[in-house]
Each structure stands twice: as C-alpha cells, then as structure tokens.
Amino acid sequence: MNRHLQFFVAMVFPLLLITPVQAEVLATKQLLTPLIPDASRHMSVPVAVAHDPQKPVWVVYQLVGISAESDPEGEVVVDASFEMVPIPITDSVLIFKASDMKIETSAGALDEQVKAMIGERSPDEMREIFGEEMYAAYLALSKKEGSYLIGNITKTYEVGEPEGLSLLTSVARARGVQPVVLNVIIGQGDIPEQYRNSFMSSLEADKVVAAIISLLLAVFFIFRRK
C-alpha cells in the first residue's frame, strides 16, 4: 500500500471514531496498520491549540491489535517524544504487553463483516496488502481461533513552551500481536472519563477492525484502478 493511499485512509478513518470535542483535549490522531507492507510506522501529532506552559500535558495511547492466537503472548513497542522537548527514556518508550491488554476472543465473523462491506477478495490480494502475519491473524479471527487485543497507556509530560508543540510517534516493533490502530490523544487538565479506559467501550473491536480492513481494501482497489 503506497503512502498516498495510506494518507487518504488516515484522513477518512477518524470519521468512524467521532467523539465529542472537549476543552481538555488539545489534539488527536490515528496511526493505522503501521506494520503492513509499504505502510508508514510514524506519525506527527501537532498541537494547534494553545496550552498552558506551566502545566503538564497528558497523552493517552490506545492500541487495538489482532493475533492469530486465542491466548496471545508478545508485545507492541511504541516510541513517542515531543519534538524539541527532553523526555526521559522511561517515558518515551511504551510497551503494550499482551498480558496487560484486554483480550477478546474471536466470534468468527470478521471475514463475513468484511465481505458484507466490500465483497469477497482473493487470498493473494489480501496477502499482498496486509502481509503474511496480519493475514494469518485475519484468517484465524475468521475461524474463531484468534483474538483482539485492546490496550491503554497514559503518560504525563512537562513540555514547557516550545515553538510548535508536536508529538512524534512510531511503532518500533511487534511480536505476537499485529497493531491495527494506534489512537493518540493529547490534552491538559483533567483526563476525560472516556479516555481513561479503552476507546473500545462504545465500539466493539471486531467491528472497528473490520471497518479498517474494509476501508483499506476499498481504497487500495480504487487507487489500483487509476
């Protein structure tokens, strides 16, 4: 999947995760399927809203991943730091361990949900777009053999008053878990209740994953025809 295609998807997908605008939230952005072939592992989250330099900002990192195993082991490692802001290494490396994440077993309906949205696609087409590991997880989820993983990590940073505050985020590596979406929310003050737990509280993981896969496939075939 080329970068133009992924950029288009990244612009469209947040519409599926519409949440009320709150004063405490300064910025939010999603990184989709960062480890599939030709995808970008990195994103920059600019803070366009003015913040109080005397107070810390908080960042909520929410991850949805999939695994070919029903009892998965492994982790997803995320690097994150504010540009031009010194941050301790302990706060700039985030480890989503499978053992600490909420695990939902598959109901076996993922492939049916995807087919209902965009029709049936060949295994070769799916493997080309998603790569071997993501496709293996997709097949397992479609056979009630895989699992969805949902994680939430919150960090607090002293950022001062740099020119153009921006958070640089990237998925460094993964083992046993394939990241599907990393949702990043930056804010200041009290953390809204909806962000204190996983953002899957109102959206089922299988439906979110099915929507992302369907959107990626649909856009892929639109771009390929051009």
Which pLDDT does position 200 carry in this prediction?
A: 52
Per-residue model confidence (pLDDT) at position 11: 45
Q: How many CB atoms lie within 10 A of CB 223?
A: 13
Rounded mean pLDDT of the chain? 82
How far, in Å, CA of 226 to CA of 224, rounded?
A: 5
pTM for the model stands at 0.84
Other residues' Cβ atoms within 10 Å of the Cβ of residue 92: 16
Contact 64, 16 (CB under 8 A): no
Task: Walk along the chain (226 residues) and give the pLDDT tens digit of each residue.
Answer: 445 445 444 544 554 444 445 558 999 999 988 998 888 999 999 998 888 889 999 999 999 999 999 999 999 999 999 998 999 988 999 999 999 999 988 777 777 878 777 778 888 888 888 899 999 998 898 888 889 899 999 999 999 887 789 999 999 999 999 999 899 999 999 888 877 765 554 346 777 777 777 777 766 655 554 4
- Residue among 31, 12, 205 at smallest CA distance from 110: 205
